[in-house]
Amino acid sequence: MARIGVFVCHCGENIARTVDVARVAGEARKMPGVAFATDYLYMCSAPGQKLLAEAIAEHGLTGVVVSACSPQLHEPTFRAAAAQAGLNPFLCEMANIREQCSWVHPSREAGTAKACRLVAAAVEKVRHARPLEPAGVPVTRRALVIGGGVAGIRAALDIASAGHEVVLVEKQPSIGGNMARLSETFPTLDCSQCILTPLMVEAARHPNIELLTSAEVEEVGGYVGSFRVRIRRKPAYVKPDLCTACGDCASACPVSVPNEFDRGLSWRKAIYIPFPQAVPATYTLDANSCLNAKQESATGYRVLACERCAEACDRQAIDYDARPEILEREVGAIVAATGYELLPRGSLEEYGYGRYADVVDGLEFERLLSASGPTEGELRRPSDGRPVRDVVFVQCAGSRDPRRGVPYCSRICCMVTAKHALLFKHKVADGRATVFYMDIRAGGKGYEEFVRRVMEEERVLYVRGRASRVVPHDGELVVFGADTLSGQPVQVRADLVVLATAMTPAPGDLAARLRIPTDPHGFFQEAHPKLRPVETLAAGVYVTGAAQAPKDIPDTVAQASAAASKALELLSRTELRREPTTARVREARCMACFECARVCPYKAVAVEEIRDREGKVVRQVAAVRVAMCEGCGACVGACRTGAMDLDGFADEQLFAQIEALARREAA
Amino acid sequence: MNGTLLEIGPPAAREERSGFEPVVVAIVCNWCTYAGADMAGTTRRAYPPNVRLLRVPCTGRVSPLQVLKAFEQGADGVLVSGCHPGDCHYVHGNLVARRRLAILRALLDFVGLDARRFHVSWVSASEGVRWARVVETVTRAVREAGPLDAWSPRDGEEPVRLPEPPPAPSPPASPEEQEAVGRNLRSLAASLLGEGRVTVFLGYGEATLPGRAVPLLATDLAEASALVWNDRCHSNLAVYLAGPNRVPGKVAVVLKACDARAVIGLQQEGQLRREDLVLVGVRCPGVREEDGRLALKCHACDGEVAAGCDFTVSADGVETGAARSAAPRAVAPDPRDAAIAFLEGLPPARRWAFWREQFDRCLRCYACRAVCPLCYCGTCISEHHRPQWIPASIGPRGNASWNAIRAYHLAGRCAGCDECTRACPARLRLDLLNRRLALEVERRFGYRAGEDPSAAPPLAAFRPEDPQEFVHA
């Protein structure tokens, strides 16, 4: 006989203001199987949990229902409390009467009535629950870090230094990410390369880090603790152990294409090194621009149109016949740090972004400022190479502008622009810098002071208002805008316009492969902004850096270490307790149609042969490989005979819940 | 204050005055819609309290049994909601669910539990506002549909009469022709049994009442001499090839075109081994009812032997393999489709009235199940007690659930032999339910049952681009 305890939480005023909690507890007392019901101010507080534990002992409860907030918030809390009091945690359920009742139904009468139904359904679920024991699964003590920008490098180093192996996968031929493009970083004006390069080298040299560049994650299988990852690695066509990065091949190469690292402001050869400090410091042949790329003969033999790089290479490191590699790795945890991009060129038409050569984005301006950039740090116009004297900076170019760009604030642009203006004034002392801004959001440590300094000491003119458009005039640019403080329209002549374009997530479908949700803008969604900021809803998958939301380098690095520490928490264990909510077959009912196996996303349903005493196969039945089952229940939905069931969401439970929910209360 | 002012009061006030508060059970996935509903709460976006949530891991966990149970237990409407396609936490659970729900929805709509009562939506974890809007729309629709209280036929309600079927497009086969087929079958059976190629020849024999035929299992030449063929050879003998009635050994089986589809379906579902069978196709002139009328299923069928048969038997002789005749039988539009179109032309309430009257007559004798080759389950879901998804006793709600789940379980599988309908002592038009879902499966998924033994069953498969016009936009 079930003896269920029902605990109705007031959540301060959050529930009690609209739901008559005492009445809900009173109704609960009349429900079948309920031995005890009460209401309490804060069930999740220490006294609340104590109340729960004491009631379990005092009333000999065989199950509990906590009627409070969403189970996504506190189910683990109350299940742990129940377990501590000696109850199987799966005999504890929550009725969500806050998020799905008191917060959305202003009517006290209707809200209380609905709360009673929700409690009744939860009581039914517990009444038909079975105690479940989590299964132990071994943890593969290796991590995968996706993305070799500063976030990925930091996370990889932290995990590797703690003694675990790391597979670091980077799409580009070199790690470093967007930060490698930066000239100096705010607010300290450290040289970006000086901070980043040592980390890049350390990551490449670390005995625990396997660095895979020009590689992408193609498929992620398995589950927390033992993911199976398939990685596709593009060939470099250059044997890394032979390449000394002497550059003879590039000198010999007849093909020039825009250099992506300089965002097209310079040229590179088809065989190239992305930038001098690249890690790994070896050359890569870009198969898309190499003359040999299109030379497949009809007979199937490869025809080489040009072998100049191979001829130039003393060490014979060039290998035109290299093929893409598919690598399989087993990992226990995954950190996704795929970073950001800027709004695509051509998106902000009124500014001529992508149309006028002298309208550049922030990363292009960084390259123009950088000592290792296309102009070696001398500030010249991309269009004609003339020195730059007047620069107009446009903040919020696409940010906070749902109509033309994105609705969110990209967070770094106020500081980036201030830094740009300062660096410009340091290079061109008599130059004129004008900044169009909406507000200044300089919320970091030392940030506000930095912006003040730029405004006041560097004599940068800040104009409060949006720039409306940029038009070319006589070989120069004119920026039209409004000074909203004086209420006057303004026109500013410029040699160069720098747009603080919005940050957007890196494109691709990695989130789908990792089975993690994204927010409406495509940034990875954290499990909870405050409680689980670097975890995702997929256990064992962590997010960090600008892939989660726009953020600056200090925040990125801090978050990367946070993600690494969460991954380490997982990797520090040899075994994980796995949720026992997995599918189960009642063999006697199985008719072996195997539709369950067809719909299972995890190939967790196997064919089991039932044999007689002589070992002859009598019949086949479906069998669930528990370690691979994620507990989605698609197999149960497919099963016509009712042979499949899902522990934790069993047919008997759902049946009883539906009865409780569908019932119309007496008027 | 006067009455007109009240009319333009807040919606809540108006609704309370109408007196009917619908109960809507929402079965939602844990990762997207449940979190989306939480989001509505976090942002304090109010919505009608009529919707009560049942949390499941994934919409893939949703079974039609749950939806039927909710209606049966008093819900006026049901909403199933999950992740947007491509966002499923479990890779593709929602895409499998989308196919199942599309078929369930077509079925419910056809019996008159129309689109206002059964809803499907995709709501993500960040779409609190969308969730509130979906609930508002659904609640409004269910309110409009009214209470789902009538399950039995109402007194004095005018019964719905289906149109008369058209005359047969082809004349009956002559007794001589039928006898010639019988003779050829007997000689084939004699040679197969005589050579030991099969241990059982499964065909038709004379029934006790003259002019009728019953299944006959011939294991020797003497028994084989009793084999006959005529247009009363109704039984689908595939029912003896799998499941509880399975005939052991190496079996030759006589198949009409419709029966052969069931064999392919069984093969597809791993229920029989093709190498244990010799398929004897008969060029079928169509079977006839007791009153001599051509069976409805035969109007649109040319009677040709299905591809994959080992022998083709006709009045002219026995040929090896599936051979087509020089002059196939004349065909006409399927009269079942006309009946379906007629019912679909009625308002939902009238369709519901038609089917209520039909289901009310159901005796729960399960003859439909017994004669169906694809109902091969050892224990039918209707006989499970923990939980008892389908009420076992005869009653309007349980009868409706039983007949709905039977039809649903045959969607994408039914061979269209209509044996269930012929066997039904209460003359329920089960053929129309089956046929309606077969048409839905074909229209949505481009799939026809019983044609390709290697094809994936349509409800255990999906395509990302499957139509989803029924999902709340």
Q: Does the CB of A185 have a partner CB in chain B at under 8 Å?
A: no
pLDDT at B10: 42
- pLDDT-based confidence at residue B26 (cuts at 50, 70, 90): very high
Asked whether residue B183 carries a pLDDT value surpassing 90, the answer given is yes
| Residue of A74, A104, A224 to mutate when probing chain B, most B C-beta within 10 A | A104
Q: Is A455 helix (H, G, I), strand (E, B) or coil?
A: helix
**What tokens were used for B6?**
């009240």
Among the partner residues B41, B124, B381, nearest to A98 by beta-carbon distance: B41
A99, B40: Cβ pair inside 8 Å?
yes
Q: Is the pLDDT of residue B8 over 70?
A: no
Count CB pairs under 8 A between chains A and B: 196
Q: What is the overall mean pLDDT for chain A?
A: 93
Contact B60 A620 (CB under 8 A): no
Q: How far is A661 from chain B (nearest CA, A)?
A: 6
* Contact flag A104-B58 (C-beta cutoff 8 Å): no
- List CB contacts (< 8 A) between A588 and chain B: 378
Question: What pLDDT is stored for residue A638 in this prediction?
Answer: 96
List, as own/partner pairs, every contact residues B186-193 make where C-beta atoms lie below 8 angstroms and the sequence separation is at least 24, other chains included.
B186/B224, B186/B225, B186/B227, B187/B318, B188/B252, B188/B280, B188/B311, B188/B313, B188/B318, B189/B218, B189/B224, B189/B227, B189/B252, B190/B221, B190/B224, B190/B225, B192/B252, B192/B278, B193/B218, B193/B219, B193/B220, B193/B221, B193/B224
Residue B96 has pLDDT above 90, yes or no: yes
Cβ separation B90–A662 shorter than 8 A: no
Q: Is the pTM higher than 0.90?
A: no
pLDDT tens column, A560-593: 999 999 999 999 999 888 889 999 999 999 999 9
Cβ of B460 within 8 Å of Cβ of A598? The answer is: yes
A107 to chain B, closest Cα gap in Å = 9
| H or E element in which residue A368 lies | helix A362-369
Whole-number pLDDT of residue B290:
85
Per-residue pLDDT, B311: 97
Look at residue A295 in the predicted model and tell me its pLDDT: 64
pLDDT digits (tens, 9 = 90+) for A410-427: 999 999 999 999 999 999
Question: Do B380 and A641 lie within an 8 Å CB cutoff?
Answer: yes
Per-residue pLDDT at A527:
82
CB atoms closer than 10 angstroms to residue A529: 9
A165 min Cα distance to partner chain B (Å):
28
Q: Which ipTM value was assigned to this complex?
A: 0.92
Cα gap A175→A168, rounded to integer Å: 9
Query: A608 in contact with B at a CB cutoff of 8 Å?
Result: no
d(CA B416, CA B410): 10
pLDDT tens sequence across B143-154 = 999 998 778 888
* Structure confidence at residue B6 (pLDDT): 38
B325-380 per-position pLDDT tens digit? 988 888 999 999 999 999 999 999 999 999 999 999 999 999 999 999 999 999 99
Q: What is the mean pLDDT of each run of 10 residues along chain A (667 residues)?
A: 95 96 97 97 96 96 97 94 96 97 96 96 97 90 97 98 97 96 94 94 96 95 90 94 93 94 94 93 92 70 84 93 93 97 92 94 95 91 94 96 94 96 94 95 94 93 95 94 94 96 94 84 88 88 97 97 97 89 94 95 90 92 88 96 96 97 75
Closest CA to B38 of A17, A528, A36, A196: A528
Using left for φ > 0, alpha for ψ between -120 and 50, and beta otherwise, residue A398 falls in left
Restricting to A residues 362-401, those with a Cβ less than 8 Å away from any Cβ of B are none
Q: Which of chain B's residues have a Cβ under 8 Å away from the Cβ of A601?
A: 90-93
| Residue A658 to residue B66, Cβ atoms within 8 A | yes
pLDDT band, residue B17 (cuts 50/70/90): very low
A646 touches chain B (CB under 8 A): yes
Give the mutation candidate from B73, B123, B388 for the A interface (greatest A CB count, under 10 A): B73
User: What order of strands is seen across the sheet that includes strand A4-9?
Assistant: A34-40, A4-9, A63-68, A92-96
* B216-220: long-range contacts, CB 8 A cutoff, minimum separation 24: B217/B247, B218/B189, B218/B193, B219/B193, B220/B193
SS3 content of chain A, % helix, strand, coil (to 5): 30, 25, 45
Both structure tokens of A20: 């008559």
Neighbouring CB atoms inside 10 A of A643's CB total 26
Question: Which of B74, B376, B386 lies closest to A664 in CB terms?
Answer: B74
What pLDDT score does B114 carry?
Answer: 85
pLDDT confidence tier of residue B16, bands split at 50, 70 and 90: very low
Mean pLDDT calculated for residue range B212-220: 94
Residue B9 has a pLDDT of 37
Residue A40 is inside which H or E element, if any? strand A34-40
A252: part of which helix (H) or strand (E)? Answer: helix A248-252
pLDDT digits (tens, 9 = 90+) for B373-418: 999 999 999 999 889 999 999 999 999 999 999 999 999 999 999 9
- Is A618 in the B-facing interface, judged by CB distances under 8 Å? no
Locate the chain B residue with the closest alpha carbon to A112: B49
User: Does residue B221 contact residue B192 with C-beta atoms inside 8 Å?
Assistant: no
- List pLDDT tens digits, range B242-253: 988 899 999 999
- Proportion of chain A above pLDDT 70, given as a percent: 98
Judge: B271–A592 Cβ closer than 8 Å, yes or no. Answer: yes
Q: In which band, very low, low, confident or very high, does the pLDDT at B305 lie, cut at 50, 70 and 90?
A: very high
Query: For residues B228 and B207, what is the distance between their CA atoms, to the nearest angstrom?
Result: 10
Which residues of chain A from 515 to 534 reach within 8 Å of chain B, CB to CB? 515, 517, 519-520, 525
For chain B, the residue count is: 473
